[in-house]
Amino acid sequence: MSISESGAAPFDALVLPLLAAAGTSHALDADAAAAAWSTQRGVHAPKLAIRTTTDSVGGRGLFATDAVRKGEVVASIPKDLVWRAPAPTDLPPEGRAWQTQLATQLLLAAAAGEEAWAPWLDSLPTDFDGFAYLDCEDVDKWVQETSKRWGLPADRLAETLGERRGAYARRAAWFFSDEGPAALCGASPASFRLAYCRVLSRAVTVGGRAAIKSLRSSTTLSTQVDGKGCIGLVPFYDFLNHGRLGSEANVELLTYGQAVRRAGDASGAEGSFLDLDDMLLVATADIETGAELLTGYADAGADEDGYRVKLLLQYGICLPPSSSSA
């Protein structure tokens, strides 16, 4: 450490390392809190750890603490932990959209101050640069700047923007209408947008026979989900990061029922402690100790530009072009 002429260490030399250490400590505390909450709520993942590290694709992710073999179940997540979007029939399209339904559930939980969900809600991100297109004033400027920044073809980027922006505007308008749940949630336009972005970035297809219950059925929203599956949010699973290309994924999400059907042998299901709607995280490849677990929303295939556009607009994931296409 250098010393100034006065004999005192420069401010930056003293303070910046302390701030960095404090940030690391806070991240570790947050990881420990998330892991403790997950275990308390019934998640079983003895070979996994939540880590905030520069080794993670997204800065924070799930890592293997022991070697994992292909086909191994690395985590089980109780069905009661899954947030499923209802399928109401008494609402207009913008009100029954899964994006609106799940955003409403998040806002209701936050408004009620449910302590049981607070650690997970607090772990959700607050910055969503990838979704700026939803309500930016100058969409043409956004397209040009985003195209240049991420090496995306502007025409491909603009193709579905109108539809996505229009859908968001209609859903927000319904949410804040007299028929919508905004007053019940105590929501503002900013909080609805944040909840909406959180849903877009984390939603997955989940099995669903169970009804939405507890706080999330205390509104006029229907509590029924269809029997074939629906869109939902899966705590703990959402700590996974997306690999650069879909082929990098080394785990997949299944219901226990799906796993049983895939195995073609239901003889052991009856005596299992798992419910058929519980979620399983299953390794699709061998995973070394210390490696990060990765998911994939789709495989890039030959159309890498189209793939990256979809990831940005649908999930808010910004990927630079691969070295081979740059």
DSSP state of 165: H
For residue 265, is it within any domain?
Answer: no
Res 265: pLDDT: 64
Res 66: pLDDT: 97
User: pTM for the complete prediction?
Assistant: 0.81
* pLDDT category of residue 43 using cuts at 50, 70 and 90: very high
For 54, 140, 143, 151, 209, the CA distances from 146, given in Å and listed in that order, are 25, 10, 5, 8, 41
Res 316: pLDDT: 82
For residue 133, is it within any domain?
Answer: yes
pLDDT digit string, tens, across residues 241-298: 887 665 688 999 998 888 888 877 655 555 567 888 899 999 999 999 999 999 887 6
Cβ contact 50:237 at 8 Å: no
Res 159: pLDDT: 86
For residue 183, is it within any domain?
Answer: yes
Listed range (65-74, 124-133, 292-301) with the worst mean pLDDT? 292-301
For residue 80, is it within any domain?
Answer: no
Listed range (92-101, 110-119, 172-181, 299-308) with the worst mean pLDDT? 299-308
Looking at the predicted structure, is the pLDDT value of residue 144 above 90? yes
Res 18: pLDDT: 47
Res 244: pLDDT: 67
CA 281/CA 253 separation, integer angstroms: 5
pLDDT digit string, tens, across residues 217-243: 333 333 333 335 588 999 999 999 887
Q: Please count the structural domains in the chain.
A: 1
For residue 241, is it within any domain?
Answer: no
* Containing structural domain, residue 160: 94-199
Task: Convert 22-75 into a string of H (helix), E (strand) and C (coil).
Answer: HHHHHHHHHHHHHHHHHHHCCCECCCEEEEECCCCCCCEEEEECCCECCCCEEE
CA 26/CA 127 separation, integer angstroms: 18
CB within 8 Å of 208: residues ≥ 6 apart: 84, 225, 226, 227, 228, 229, 230, 232, 277
Q: Is 34 exposed, middle or buried (0-12, 13-18, 19+ CB in 10 A)?
A: buried
For residue 76, is it within any domain?
Answer: no
Phi, psi at residue 61, to the nearest 5°?
-165, -170
Query: For the chain, what is the largest distance between any 2 Cα atoms, rounded to a whole number of angstroms?
Result: 79
For residue 231, is it within any domain?
Answer: no
Res 136: pLDDT: 92
For residue 182, is it within any domain?
Answer: yes
Res 227: pLDDT: 39
